[in-house]
């Protein structure tokens, strides 16, 4: 029933990889000639898991999200989603960005409903509202559904943006630094919310981030990309309980993981001699 | 609400008082500069002319403006979506806009001889489409890629992205430009009305006041034009409140 390799999880159960990126290379054409951004990218994300991607600035992480979303095609290599080669945009993807990109002329509720208008044009208005309200309640925005985005705080806007990205029950949720512009406390609140959403919704997630603690807290695996042109440099399986709380970030196992990741980032930046 | 009405009215009264005082203190006679107190007699004497001429000026300005909205938006879409067309059309647009439109009056009145209504509407259009085209173009070309991506990643068509995102997002810029265009369109209409022989509209009334040395009539026309301009401007503000009211922030 599936193509591609299987990945063995702890339970010894074989689970299909929902996302597979194999040998992807890509270069942007610039005035100064081709600028290679990806060179040998290998990513495999089993269904229902959460993959965090970290790497130095400007290493091509955002290009990775556009590849998975089908917004662009790689020069070389293959991107597979649910056993199908990605050749263009598909309705089974949800996206969230650092900028919440809410539409100012719509209320929060209407913003969350937006993808349903595209993906499920026949769905009744009542059903759409019901689905959107279910998510808004889950992220703590109940009572704010009729507000305009400009009336909400940055954290609340990002919550609404998350609701919009999963309202159509996508197979894959792609997030490009969604918490990057938030203050530290709001960010940690949203990490919690993200884990709650994961427990309730069936999506498989790819998260681009600069924050190593975030990658470990949210991810089932953390992929470290090398500096530009990016290749998969290191893959870490995060073996923490599914119902982890923020306290876990201050305990020894996570501290060890963070130290390994930090070391890997230094290597990716080409600064590994500086450590020790 | 009360303040919104009383403050502008007080400002207008202060302005009229200053004007009256200026004429009085300089002892200017009527054939040099009319004063506000000369205006009511002019209106009561020619009120019928003011109504018919005012209506002619108004409808031709509005039609020219509507034309400018349609064509300006279309040009804005073309230069907003296509880099190539932007590079190609911008110099032409800027060059055309830089031509003083008064110089075009003899040109169009020779091409369309006797078509006074048409010529007037055409001039109102030509003088007022530029701000609309430029602002719609800028609004569309500066749309952040993320806005497009949230719909494009769902497989939405270009048309859907345009109607659901690009168009509403450009509305504030569009209305900003329309406010500029409203006053420009009046200039265009009046240009043709004044310069054309046997013209109609408030411009022609102004011209006949000038011919007869009736200064109070000329100033009365100017004030009537100002009133029409204000009416049309606030009509645009009203539409803006309905369609782009979301862009207005609290407390600004």
Closest CA to A77 of A252, A215, A231: A231
Closest CA to A43 of A54, A56, A29: A54
CATH 3.40.50.300: does it fit domain A49-71+88-222+238-274?
yes
Domain boundaries, chain B: 45-244
What does the block give as tokens for A62? 């955002």
The partner residue sitting opposite A104, judged by closest CB among B152, B164, B246, is B246
What fold is seen in the domain B45-244? MetI-like fold (1.10.3720)
The residue of B147, B153, B165 whose CB has the most chain A CBs within 10 angstroms, and thus the best one to mutate to test that interface, is B153
Give A104's contacts in chain B (Cβ within 8 Å): 169, 246-247
Strand A221-225 versus strand A50-54 pairing type: parallel
Q: What is the spatial distance between Cα A209 and Cα A177, in angstroms, rounded to a whole number? A: 5
Q: What is the spatial distance between Cα B157 and Cα A232, in angstroms, rounded to a whole number? A: 34
CB contact under 8 A, B146 and A99: yes
- Taking only the tens of pLDDT, chain A with its 276 residues reads 344 444 444 444 445 788 999 888 988 888 888 888 888 888 999 988 999 999 887 777 888 888 899 888 889 889 988 888 888 888 889 999 988 999 999 999 999 999 999 988 899 999 999 999 999 998 999 999 999 999 999 999 999 999 999 999 999 999 999 998 888 888 999 999 999 999 898 899 999 998 999 999 999 999 999 888 888 898 999 988 888 888 888 888 889 999 999 999 888 888 766 554
Give the distance from residue A98's alpha carbon to the nearest chain B alpha carbon, in angstroms.
Answer: 10
What is the reported pLDDT for A273? 63
Q: What is this model's ipTM?
A: 0.76
The partner residue sitting opposite A71, judged by closest CB among B149, B164, B247, is B149
| Contact of B141 with B173, CB cutoff 8 Å | no
What does the block give as tokens for B119? 């010529």
Task: Name the β-bridge partners of A96.
Answer: A175
Domain boundaries, chain A: 49-71+88-222+238-274
Give A164's contacts in chain B (Cβ within 8 Å): 150
Task: Name the β-bridge partners of A176.
Answer: A97, A208
Instruction: Please tell me if residue B150 touches chain A, with a CB cutoff of 8 Å.
Output: yes
Instruction: Please tell me if residue B168 touches chain A, with a CB cutoff of 8 Å.
Output: yes
Give the distance from residue B158's alpha carbon to the nearest chain A alpha carbon, in angstroms.
Answer: 12
Element spanning A117, H or E: helix A108-119
CB contact under 8 A, B153 and A114: no
Write b or e for each residue in A2-17: b if 16 or more Cβ atoms lie within 10 A of its Cβ, otherwise e. Answer: eeeeebeeeeeeeebb
Closest CA to A46 of A260, A225, A237, A257: A237
- C-alpha atoms less than 13 angstroms from C-alpha of B168 in its C-beta half-sphere: 18
Instruction: Please tell me if residue B145 touches chain A, with a CB cutoff of 8 Å.
Output: no
Write b or e for each residue in B2-40: b if 16 or more Cβ atoms lie within 10 A of its Cβ, otherwise e. Answer: eeeeeeeeeeeeeeeeebeeebeeeeeeeeeebbbebbe
- Taking only the tens of pLDDT, chain B with its 252 residues reads 778 889 989 999 999 999 999 999 999 988 888 899 989 999 999 999 999 999 999 999 999 999 999 999 999 999 988 889 999 999 999 999 999 988 888 888 888 888 889 999 999 999 999 999 999 999 888 888 888 888 888 888 888 988 899 889 999 999 999 999 999 999 999 999 998 877 889 999 999 998 988 888 999 999 999 999 999 999 999 999 998 888 876 554
For residue A95, what is the nearest residue in chain B, using CA coordinates?
B150
Q: At what angle do helices A154-166 and A184-200 cross, to 10 degrees?
A: 20
Give A119's contacts in chain B (Cβ within 8 Å): 154
The partner residue sitting opposite A103, judged by closest CB among B153, B154, B165, is B165
CB contact under 8 A, B246 and A90: no
Give the distance from residue B14's alpha carbon to the nearest chain A alpha carbon, in angstroms.
Answer: 39
Closest CA to B178 of B98, B72, B252: B72
Write b or e for each residue in A234-248: b if 16 or more Cβ atoms lie within 10 A of its Cβ, otherwise e. Answer: bebebebeeebeeee
């Amino acid at each position: 029933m599936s193509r591609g390799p299987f990945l063995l999880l702890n339970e010894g159960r074989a689970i299909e990889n929902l996302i597979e990126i194999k040998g992807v290379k890509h270069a942007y054409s610039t005035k100064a000639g081709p600028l290679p951004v990806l060179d040998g990218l290998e990513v495999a994300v089993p269904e229902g898991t959460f993959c965090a991607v970290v790497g130095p600035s400007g290493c091509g992480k955002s290009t990775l999200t556009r590849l998975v979303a089908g917004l662009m095609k790689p020069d070389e290599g293959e991107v597979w989603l649910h056993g199908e080669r990605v050749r263009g945009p598909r309705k089974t993807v949800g996206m969230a960005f650092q900028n919440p990109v809410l539409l100012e002329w719509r209320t929060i509720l209407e913003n969350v409903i937006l993808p349903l208008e595209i993906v499920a044009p026949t769905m009744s208005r009542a059903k759409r509202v019901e689905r959107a309200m279910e998510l808004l309640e889950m992220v703590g925005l109940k009572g704010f559904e009729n507000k305009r985005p400009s009336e909400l705080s940055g954290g609340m806007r990002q919550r609404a943006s998350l609701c919009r990205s999963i309202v159509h029950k996508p197979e894959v949720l792609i997030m490009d630094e969604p918490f990057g512009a938030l203050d530290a406390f709001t960010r940690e609140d949203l990490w919690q919310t993200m884990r709650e959403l994961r427990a309730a919704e069936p999506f498989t997630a790819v998260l681009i981030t600069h924050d190593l603690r975030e990658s470990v807290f949210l991810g089932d695996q953390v992929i470290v990309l090398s500096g530009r042109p990016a290749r998969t440099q290191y893959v870490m399986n995060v073996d923490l309980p599914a119902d982890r709380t923020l306290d876990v970030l201050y305990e020894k196992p996570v501290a060890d993981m963070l130290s390994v990741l930090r070391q890997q980032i230094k290597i990716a930046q080409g600064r590994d001699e500086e450590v020790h | 609400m009360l303040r919104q009405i009383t403050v502008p009215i007080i400002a207008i009264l202060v302005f009229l008082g200053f004007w009256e005082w200026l004429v009085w203190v300089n002892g200017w006679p009527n054939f040099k500069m009319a004063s506000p107190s000369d205006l009511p007699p002019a209106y009561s004497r020619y009120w019928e002319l003011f109504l018919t001429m005012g209506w002619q000026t108004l409808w031709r300005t509005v039609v020219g403006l509507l034309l400018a909205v349609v064509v300006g938006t279309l040009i804005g879409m073309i230069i907003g979506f296509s880099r190539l067309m932007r590079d190609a059309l911008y110099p032409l647009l800027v060059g055309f806009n830089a031509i003083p439109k008064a110089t075009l009056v003899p040109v169009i009145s020779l091409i369309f001889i006797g078509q006074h209504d048409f010529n007037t509407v055409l001039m109102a259009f030509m003088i007022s489409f530029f701000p609309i085209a430029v602002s719609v173009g800028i609004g569309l070309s500066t749309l952040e890629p993320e806005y497009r991506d949230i719909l494009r990643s769902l497989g939405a068509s270009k048309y859907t992205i345009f109607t659901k995102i690009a168009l509403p997002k450009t509305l504030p810029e569009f209305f900003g430009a329309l406010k500029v265009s409203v006053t420009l369109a009046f200039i265009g209409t009046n240009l043709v009305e004044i310069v054309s022989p046997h013209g109609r509209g408030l411009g022609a009334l102004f011209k006949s006041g000038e011919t007869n040395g009736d200064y109070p009539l000329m100033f009365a026309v100017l004030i009537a034009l100002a009133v029409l301009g204000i009416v049309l401007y606030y009509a645009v503000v009203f539409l803006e409140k309905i369609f782009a009211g979301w862009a207005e922030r609290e407390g600004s």
